[in-house]
Amino acid sequence: MRTNREDSFDAVIVGAGFSGLYLLWKLRGQGLNVHLFEAGEDVGGTWFWNRYPGARCDVESVDYSFSFDEELQQEWRWKERYPAQPEILEYLQHVADRFDLRRDISLHTRVQSSQYDEDTRTWAVHADGAEVTTQFLIMATGCLSVPQTPNIAGLESFAGKTYHTGDWPKEGVDFTDKRVAVIGTGSSGIQLIPEVAKVAEHLTVLQRTASFSVPALNGPLDPEFEREVKANYPERRRRARASSAGVERGDNEQNALDVAHEDRVKEFDGRWGKGGFALLGAYQDLMLTDEANDTVADYVRDKIRATVEDPDTADSLIPRGYPLGAKRICVDTNYFETYNRDNVTLVDLRKSPLESITPTGARTGDADHEFDVLCLATGFDAMTGALDRIDITGVGGERLKNKWQHGPTTYLGLGVAGFPNLLLIAGSGSPSVLANMVTAIEQHVEWTAELLGYMSSHGYDTIEPTPEAEEGWVAHVNEMASYTVFPKAASWYMGANIPGKPQIFMPYVGGCVEYEKKCNEVAEKGYSGFVLR
């Protein structure tokens, strides 16, 4: 590696979430001169910004955590089965302190642009007044890090306070005795709604699309379970890496339609009773055909009918028109039960469309709804949003944003043709959001660190995918998605939640284990599909 000046680095990392922190530790350990820029006031990435009441990961805490350091995983004690946002943030702060990462992190510093210089083969990085150069520019900017505020007529005219779940105030929001409205019933809304209902005078939920949700069955972490996990952690982590979802769900190899209805219901009941994502692993074809998907979708619909007392409200809460899981399935605590409360009203925007936000509330087709506070749980400009907002210019002055105007193109979700030494962690075209993110991130960080070590020991300065390899990978990602029911929903996986965004299925559905095999094969063949100079 070439440099050691203060404004000149071997690697610049953007983002101090799970990816950026691990990458910083890993690359520093290889003797590289690394710096990390983070826009937030502290480390944590998505867990720094998403502080809304109820915010919680729906992967279990013992799995949604780093495996790279045995002492860390033995010492850290998770409080609950599913970790709440404050606990995850505390964990990431602890990781930053424990591994002395902060000395190489500039907080509160947003990267605005970066240009590749073909003569020096370096990237110039401009970040809130900081100007540095680096050999490698590594984007650990997250898949769900740019909140999306919808363009609803009259939104700015609202006289009360408006909050977005993805950019929640650090000091919190007191809903006591307030009339509150929530727009958005995806994972964030489904977590926020029961918490607001507990304290607000009245809660109005403005729902456009009903979601499939399964109960988390959260609770304090059982000490016996914790002991068992910690005694077998390496094996548990190995199995997670060797799985499709990056976490063991006890996936069943059978097809749903090869099984009698009563047996299927028994299998679904068992998994429903365990809580969380286990339901999705009930049969291997649930995401492959409409018919198989219907079996589990109908099962969840029946659960909703059985939970919600008012039949009209239940009917509105029943998801229809898209396969279960094709919009990311939600995991909840008392979500559907919340609609049995006297202080909660569901407004079905499919029956009564949202016309405008007014100074005192919202006007829908047939009524005015008054409230004091509006919460937007309206999601993110996913997968590409953070990269789109940085002006990244590669070879020949080509802008990444322009290159991706018809949808993101990458090789393995790790590199982009025409952008040498620009590397992505959990980029579009990798399993990322379809997996336990921490498993996916660890695999990417380790692959990237090995690559940089290989380049250094073999005397290479630059790496970039060939256009052919990139084209082939994009075609493969699309082909794999086409064998599933995923593209049948207008989801953020497809970019469908952002007006004008090209609609292409962005994550890789082939599963973590197959994906990692491909990445390793590429490395073993001397980084086939990449050009090294």
The nearer residue to ligand NAP, 186 or 385, going by C-beta atoms, is 186
As measured in angstroms, the least distance from the Cβ of 398 to ligand NAP is 30
Alpha-carbon distance of 203 to 367, in angstroms, equals 16
Q: 279, 346, 375, 311: which is closest to 51 by C-alpha?
A: 375
Query: Do residues 295 and 301 touch, judged by C-beta distance below 8 A?
Result: no
As measured in angstroms, the least distance from the Cβ of 123 to ligand NAP is 29
Please report whether residue 184 would count as binding ligand NAP according to CB under 6 A. Answer: yes
Only one of the segments 106-114, 126-134, 249-257, 371-379 lies at the binding site for ligand NAP (rule: CB under 6 A); that segment is 371-379
> How many C-beta neighbours within 10 Å does residue 91 have?
21
Q: 258, 246, 306: which is closest to 282 by C-alpha?
A: 258
Q: Quick one: which of 9, 411, 447, 492 contacts ligand NAP (CB under 6 A)?
A: 492
Q: Mention every residue, 6+ apart, whose C-beta is less than 8 A from residue 469.
A: 411, 417, 528, 529, 530
Q: Which residues of 203-227 are buried (b: 16+ CB within 10 A; e: fewer)?
A: bbbbbebbbbbbbbebeebeeeeee
As measured in angstroms, the least distance from the Cβ of 191 to ligand NAP is 6
Alpha-carbon distance of 530 to 524, in angstroms, equals 12
Residues in the chain: 533
Alpha-carbon distance of 522 to 463, in angstroms, equals 13
As measured in angstroms, the least distance from the Cβ of 184 to ligand NAP is 3
Crossing angle of helices 512-524/437-458, nearest 10°? 0
> How many C-beta neighbours within 10 Å does residue 520 have?
13
Q: Which residues of 440-478 are buried (b: 16+ CB within 10 A; e: fewer)?
A: bbbbbbbbbbebbeebbeeebbbbbbeeebbeebbeebe
Only one of the segments 31-39, 53-61, 172-180, 355-363 lies at the binding site for ligand NAP (rule: CB under 6 A); that segment is 53-61
> How many C-beta neighbours within 10 Å does residue 25 have?
22
Q: Quick one: which of 34, 84, 139, 144 contacts ligand NAP (CB under 6 A)?
A: 144
As measured in angstroms, the least distance from the Cβ of 407 to ligand NAP is 18
As measured in angstroms, the least distance from the Cβ of 147 to ligand NAP is 8
Q: Quick one: which of 51, 81, 328, 444 contacts ligand NAP (CB under 6 A)?
A: 328
As measured in angstroms, the least distance from the Cβ of 151 to ligand NAP is 7
Please report whether residue 409 would count as binding ligand NAP according to CB under 6 A. Answer: no
Please report whether residue 369 would count as binding ligand NAP according to CB under 6 A. Answer: no
What single-letter DSSP state applies at residue 51?
-
Tokens describing residue 96? 């930053």
The nearer residue to ligand NAP, 137 or 509, going by C-beta atoms, is 509
Only one of the segments 12-20, 37-45, 56-64, 517-525 lies at the binding site for ligand NAP (rule: CB under 6 A); that segment is 56-64
Please report whether residue 85 would count as binding ligand NAP according to CB under 6 A. Answer: no
Tokens describing residue 358? 């007014």
Tokens describing residue 285? 């074809």
Please report whether residue 188 would count as binding ligand NAP according to CB under 6 A. Answer: yes
Q: Quick one: which of 17, 40, 142, 189 contacts ligand NAP (CB under 6 A)?
A: 189
Please report whether residue 352 would count as binding ligand NAP according to CB under 6 A. Answer: no
Q: Quick one: which of 374, 433, 449, 506 contacts ligand NAP (CB under 6 A)?
A: 433
Only one of the segments 31-39, 287-295, 359-367, 373-381 lies at the binding site for ligand NAP (rule: CB under 6 A); that segment is 373-381
Please report whether residue 150 would count as binding ligand NAP according to CB under 6 A. Answer: yes
Q: Which residue of the chain is nearest ligand NAP when measured via CB?
A: 186
Binding site for ligand NAP (CB under 6 A): 56-58, 144, 150, 152, 165, 183-189, 191, 208-209, 328, 331, 349, 354, 377-380, 433, 492, 497
